[in-house]
Amino acid sequence: MNELRIDRLRWWHLPAVAEMEVAIFGPEAWSEGLLWTELSAGHDYRAVFEGERILGYAGTALSDNEMWLNNIAVDAGARRRGVARMLMDDLIARAKAHGAKALYLEVAVDNVPAQRLYDRYGFVGLGVRKNYYQHTGTDAAVMRMEL
Active site residues: 106, 118
* Distances in whole angstroms, Cα of residue 14 to Cα of each of 20, 56, 99, 117, 132: 10, 12, 28, 25, 24
Q: Is 74 helix (H, G, I), strand (E, B) or coil?
A: strand
CB-side exposure of 7: number of CA atoms within 13 Å? 13
Q: Which residues contact 41 (CB under 8 A, 6 or more apart)?
A: 61
* 63 DSSP β-pair partners: 66
Nearest of 64, 68, 48 to residue 2 by alpha carbon: 48
Helix and strand numbers, DSSP H then E, in the chain = 4, 7
Q: Is 8 helix (H, G, I), strand (E, B) or coil?
A: strand
